[in-house]
Structure 1
Amino acid sequence: MLELIAANLNAAVVGCATAVRRFLAAGTPGAIVNVSSHQARQAVRGCVPYATAKAAVEGMTRALAVEYGAHGIRVNAVAPGSVETERYTEFLVSLGPEGAARIEREMALLHPIGRVARSGEVADAIAYLLSDGAGFITGATVPVDGGRTVL
């Protein structure tokens, strides 16, 4: 279990440490966006290591925002629900048309918007949080989950 937690947490820890170190060394403000998951708040059976790691990512996001805000470093996270990725598409194809339709119906029920996210929708949220337009947002985790966590 510890290896799975580390696999899902280490990249965020190393990425944040590297970014903070570079922002501080350059004496410049900066923005960091971590990727969490709806599972940080809404656990799914059989996913204890993943949910644990993503909850840790959200805690680290808040702690770094507090620690480095005075240096002009903003730290936020996005928490996607299910996302249409290559892996998701391959999974649907492997199920055949009937199985894929069943999964798509189940996903529609889990997301009030009625579908899974497109990867570009998650990327757009990240881009916004990195932009100057989000200059007063820090320590937040923004759900990009089609309403999944409000069910």
Structure 2
Amino acid sequence: MTKERVLVVQEKSGVLKGLGIWKFPTGVVEPGEDINIGVVREVKEETGVDAEFVEVLAFRQSHKAYFEKSDLFFVCILRPLSFDITKQESEIEDAQWMPVEEFAAQPFVQQHELVKYILEVGLAKADKEYTGFSPISIKSAFSPKQSLFYMNRR
């Protein structure tokens, strides 16, 4: 996301199928995959856009979500390394770089608190008024494994 444009998609399946709603690319982290790697992979798979991870901006926790499990939804910001779009044919109906004002004007955005908050925090980050959480590689206190500790490094 920049102050001017945001990368958005329309899905081929799911609850938003065929409604003409533009949304941010989303996805699921694979077992054993770090968040910062998973979000870059998902954006590349869905849109063909190469990007690098910047920060976790926020997260949402809900219970009894999919399969009656608790769910954590991470809002991350990436820095695009390319701008050419090649949509994933199996999942994505369309993808584009959309003006932020046009995205924000969608009734879907106006009617859904979560999407409004995501847009708000993304724009605050673009204006340098917000700092999210960056990963730091650390050793576990109880094993030789490496872990990622996300913190605000302001």
So what's the TM-score if we normalise by structure 1?
Answer: 0.25
The higher-RCO structure (CA 8 Å, 6+ apart) is 1
Structure with more of its chain in strand, by fraction: 2
Q: Which has the larger radius of gyration?
A: 1
What TM-score results when the alignment is normalised by the length of structure 2?
A: 0.25
Relative to its length, the structure with more helix (as a share) is 1
